[in-house]
Chain A
Amino acid sequence: MLEADKKGNMMEDKKLKIGKYEFTSRLFVGTGKYSTMEAMAEALEASGTEVVTVAVRRVKINETTSLLDFIDTKKYVILPNTAGCYSADEAIRVARLAREVGMSDMVKLEVLADERTLLPDPIETLKATQTLVKEGFTVLVYTSDDPIVARRLEDAGATCVMPAGSPIGSGQGVLNKNNIRIILESAKVPIIVDPGVGTASDVAIAMELGCEGVLLNSGIALAKDPVRMAKAMKLACESGRLAYLSGRIPRRLYAKASSPEKDF
């Protein structure tokens, strides 16, 4: 249950469980698009995240610096993605390679339908989920906000379902709160809103709806001041979570006075 300490700073909350992993922070942060690796490292720190997403790509021969020089793998759990894959087969191949690197058996599965929308292909996503679950991966799967597809992915054994708030990199926030509510109503696995976050209030909204977490990248990486924005996202995530746990008042059409209406 919820409890405030005497200074009112930290509130107790249960940990976020993703399969065998447990996290205190509910913000997952990407490592792409930062102006420098140093800026990325600083933003990750400010965000308080415990899970960072990475992409899998060919090694560049003669390249002297590596992303992993800037990520403390004792501190952060690595969540490799299958970004850029347009079929189940491609995504499965990338997931297997990612696991073989030997840092994590988690995969952020994304199987895209086309380059213009970057929307997920639900059929290929489901096929890839089935295979990767069978192979023992901890599958966190990117999907649209369609409640039926989300349910089918859960049924297929996904450890976590990650509906889009809005298109990848669009910064439009959570466009269809009702769909997220419907997904949350029946989900038995953690629901983490993945792409579309533009600013702190978008994170807060997702958390107030009752999502278990939020994953974002561009919203921090492309902000004018990524470190400050990372801090804003952290606070929004905690704030939205607390508001959700606190149980908000119902919306009313008419006013209701806060002060006594008689005896003056």
Chain B
Amino acid sequence: MEIILNGETKACPDGTTVEGLLDLFKIDKRRTAVELNSHIVPKKEFPNRVLKDADVLEVVTFVGGG
């Protein structure tokens, strides 16, 4: 299936969870927050939240700023 990750279309296997997706793209989940279709996914739900085709994910972290 295909999902939109930070504005880019990406392929991932059916049944991928939020955690699975972060692992797939080597994103450090300890340092991120995830929005799925405009709703925040709490960290404890990462392993169980299964993605669907065309889901839109925003994954953010901290960068330098003032």
Co-complex (A, B) = yes
Which residues on A are within 8 Å of B, measured CB to CB? 30-34, 40, 53-59, 61-62, 66-68, 78, 80-81, 83, 96-103, 168, 195, 215-218, 221
Residues of A with C-beta under 8 A to B31: 66, 68, 101
In angstroms, how far is the closest chain A Cβ from the Cβ of B32? Answer: 6
Identity of the chain A residue whose Cβ is nearest the Cβ of B33 in the assembled complex: A100
Contact B62 A97 (CB under 8 A): no
Q: Which of B6-62 contact A (CB under 8 A)?
A: 6-8, 25-28, 30-35, 40, 42-43, 58-62
Known: A66-B28, A97-B33, A101-B33. A56 touches B6 (CB 8 A): no
Contact B6 A100 (CB under 8 A): no
Taking each of A31, A40, A83, A100, which has the highest tally of chain B beta carbons within 10 Å of its own beta carbon? Answer: A100
Identity of the chain A residue whose Cβ is nearest the Cβ of B25 in the assembled complex: A61
Contact B32 A55 (CB under 8 A): no
Residues of A with C-beta under 8 A to B28: 66
Identity of the chain A residue whose Cβ is nearest the Cβ of B7 in the assembled complex: A58
Residues of A with C-beta under 8 A to B7: 58
Contact B35 A97 (CB under 8 A): yes
Which residues on B are within 8 Å of A, measured CB to CB? 5-8, 25-28, 30-35, 40, 42-43, 58-66
Give the distance in Å from the alpha carbon of A70 to the alpha carbon of B58 in the complex: 24
Known: A66-B31, A97-B35, A102-B43. A58 touches B60 (CB 8 A): yes
Residues of B with C-beta under 8 A to A59: 6, 27, 32, 59-61
Partner of B66 from A32, A68, A96, A103 at Cβ < 8 Å = A32
A-B contact pairs, 20 of them (CB 8 A): A31-B65, A32-B65, A40-B64, A53-B66, A55-B62, A56-B33, A56-B60, A56-B61, A56-B62, A57-B61, A59-B27, A59-B32, A59-B61, A67-B62, A97-B40, A100-B42, A101-B61, A102-B30, A102-B33, A195-B66
Known: A59-B59, A61-B27, A66-B28. A54 touches B33 (CB 8 A): no
Give the distance in Å from the alpha carbon of A101 to the alpha carbon of B40 in the complex: 11
Give the distance in Å from the alpha carbon of A55 to the alpha carbon of B62 in the complex: 6
Identity of the chain A residue whose Cβ is nearest the Cβ of B31 in the assembled complex: A68
Residues of A with C-beta under 8 A to B33: 56, 97-102
Known: A61-B25, A101-B33. A55 touches B40 (CB 8 A): no
Contact A101 B60 (CB under 8 A): yes
A-B interface, 5 closest residue pairs, ranked by CB to CB distance from nearest? A55-B65, A217-B66, A30-B66, A100-B33, A54-B62
Given contacts A31-B65, A56-B60, 12 further A-B contacts (CB under 8 A): A30-B64, A30-B65, A54-B62, A58-B6, A61-B27, A66-B28, A66-B61, A80-B62, A98-B33, A100-B42, A102-B33, A195-B66
Contact B60 A83 (CB under 8 A): no
Residues of A with C-beta under 8 A to B6: 58-59, 61
In angstroms, how far is the closest chain A Cβ from the Cβ of B9? Answer: 12
Partner of A100 from B5, B40, B63, B66 at Cβ < 8 Å = B40
